[in-house]
Amino acid sequence: MSKTIGILAGSLRKESFSKKLANAVLNMAPEGFKFKVISLADLPIYNQDFDDNHEVPQAIIAFREEMASVDGIIFITPEYNRSVPAVLKNALDVGSRPYGKSVWDAKPAAVFSNSPGNLSAFGANHHLRQSLVFLNVPTMQQPEVYLPKVNELFNENGILKEGSTKEFLKKAVDAYITWFKKNS
Ligand code: FNR
């Protein structure tokens, strides 16, 4: 049976490079796998009262259901102030509750970070990994995926240009799939 991998991009920006990378990765699914981009655009900020009062916004219920239905996750994160953008951290928090019903538990993941700068969102990549340890998300170690100068990678239609970064990204996706098969 085919496996589904959810792709989460940590940006809401219309012209987000992370979202463009997510679309590029979407087209790299190998046979037997379905990749789907899961939007964070409508996700409210988590409030623990939702769980205590059982007054959970519909968008949160829908997100939890969608995440529960995927078998693995590829996180594509930019960096805000040397850490994970709030929209992605919020998604982790939303999916982690109610207590004992986390949608993340044991789902094999990969982290791809990117930045227009040279440091490739290293800080966000590793802050994200810190949360993933706690959430019991086994995360691919190698290859590490840090994409610098991301603003130079797309053509005028927002499509990832042919070249070494695209080749590396494809290799990283293939490595994730090989690793996923051993860890799921
Ligand atoms: C940034 N940016 C940024 N870049 C970086 O490499 N390290 C950082 O710590 C930060 N911090 C930061 C904070 C805030 C609030 C903003 C808005 C931006 C720049 C960031 O990499 C750039 O805006 C990316 O284009 C954001 O990713 P998306 O939206 O293109 O996916």
Q: What domains are there in the chain, each with its CATH number?
A: 3-183 (3.40.50.360)
Q: How far is the CA of 11 from the centre of ligand 1 (A)?
A: 9
**List of residues 6+ apart from 20 with CB closer than 8 A:** 154, 158, 159, 160
Q: Is the CB of 11 under 6 A from ligand 1?
A: yes
The whole-model pTM stands at 0.98
Please report, rounded to a whole number, the percentage of residues in the chain having pLDDT higher than 90: 96
**What's the pLDDT at 52?**
82
- In this structure, what are the phi and psi dihedrals at residue 99, rounded to the nearest 5 degrees? -50, 130
Residue pLDDT, tens place only, 2-43: 999 999 999 999 999 999 999 999 999 999 999 999 999 999
- In this structure, what are the phi and psi dihedrals at residue 110, rounded to the nearest 5 degrees? -130, 150
Which run of H or of E encompasses 146? strand 145-147
In the predicted structure, residue 156 carries a pLDDT above the cut 80: yes
In the predicted structure, residue 175 carries a pLDDT above the cut 90: yes
Residue pLDDT, tens place only, 103-135: 999 999 999 999 999 999 999 999 999 999 999
**What's the pLDDT at 79?**
98
- What confidence category does residue 53 fall into, taking pLDDT thresholds of 50, 70 and 90? confident
Q: Is the CB of 148 under 6 A from ligand 1?
A: no
In the predicted structure, residue 141 carries a pLDDT above the cut 80: yes
Cα–Cα distances (Å) from 29 to 68, 74, 79, 116, 165, in that order, read 20, 12, 25, 26, 17
Nearest CA owner, ligand 1 atom 26: 78
